[in-house]
Amino acid sequence: MTTGVVVVSHNTRDDALACLASLQHAGADQVVLVDSGSSDGTARAVKAAFPEISVLAGPNVGFGKACNRGVQELDTDYVVVANADVRFDPNSAGALGAFLDANPTVGIVGPAITHPDGRPQASARTFPDLGTAVGHAALSLVWPDNPFTRRYRMAGWDKTSQRDVDWVSGACLAIRRQVWDQLGGFDPAYFMFVEDVDLSWRAHKHGWRVVFSPVAHVTHSVGSSVAGRKATMVRAHVRSLDYFITNRYAYPLPIRVAMRAGMTIWAVSVVSWGALSSRTHGQLG
């Protein structure tokens, strides 16, 4: 059993170095850093600090495409993909691979993810139905604890127990290489955000379980690569949401048009209220 890790960085040199340092004791058999269009010297710094790690540098092609490129370099049974602003606990990568090895019906597993101050992140969520999606989008900014948002974020669950879930955050997840190859990795149509939701969606469609398990723990700082580019990232988020809804839900055209209008209103609200910084990479909000 072998486990490889792909870390994606975009102008997050210090985060990338700290993430890779934490991986030294995380039980990974192979590590690849994909530097996606950085201008801060990330690739050079990583090569100097960690000469044993494979570094792939290229233009900024988005998170999913960068992960896809990195996984091509791995020759391991299990794959962990992660943001550069993640810190791995000792043996956490190895524990995720071991969990998949011991549970042959599980295709994807997400670890327990906390903020640096120890607060749990909502890193496992439900696929929202139409009512939940509309209620969450309409109310989450003005009433964060509304029932729609609580249902979507699985707020009644304390995140200390293992359970099957709809999807887990791409900030850090582990997947069987068999499943990765079967699904073709992340859908390259997503530049940023929602690619993790879509990956889990397709895994379920192919009969694989998606599980949250505190068998491993990582810390996630949230938003390092998107800091200072709120409007651009919100637009990318909305485009990804629109693509997911259009391609994965069989809603009739009038409903899709209405949802598109709602997402536009939501995006304007997020930019105005500055809510994006509180969101985890890849999540629906």
pLDDT tens track for 160-196 = 899 999 999 999 999 999 999 999 999 999 988 899 9
pLDDT at 280: 37
For 1-22, write each residue's pLDDT tens digit: 999 999 999 999 999 999 999 9
Residue 274 pLDDT exceeds 90: no
Q: What is the mean pLDDT of the chain?
A: 87
Which token pair is 53? Answer: 């790690």
pLDDT at 277: 42
Nearest CA to 242 out of 230, 227, 258, 231 is that of 258
For 108-138, write each residue's pLDDT tens digit: 999 999 999 999 998 999 887 767 767 776 7
CA distances from 85 to 25, 227, 238, 257, 270 (A): 17, 12, 23, 36, 22
CB atoms within 10 A of CB 249: 15
Residue 159 pLDDT exceeds 60: yes
Average pLDDT over residues 47-67: 97
pLDDT confidence band for 270 (50 / 70 / 90): low
pLDDT at 278: 39
Residue 263 pLDDT exceeds 80: no
**Which residue would you say has higher pLDDT here, 159 or 195?**
195
CA distance 172 to 98: 16
**Model-level pTM?**
0.88
Percent over 70 (pLDDT), the chain: 85
CA distance 179 to 181: 5
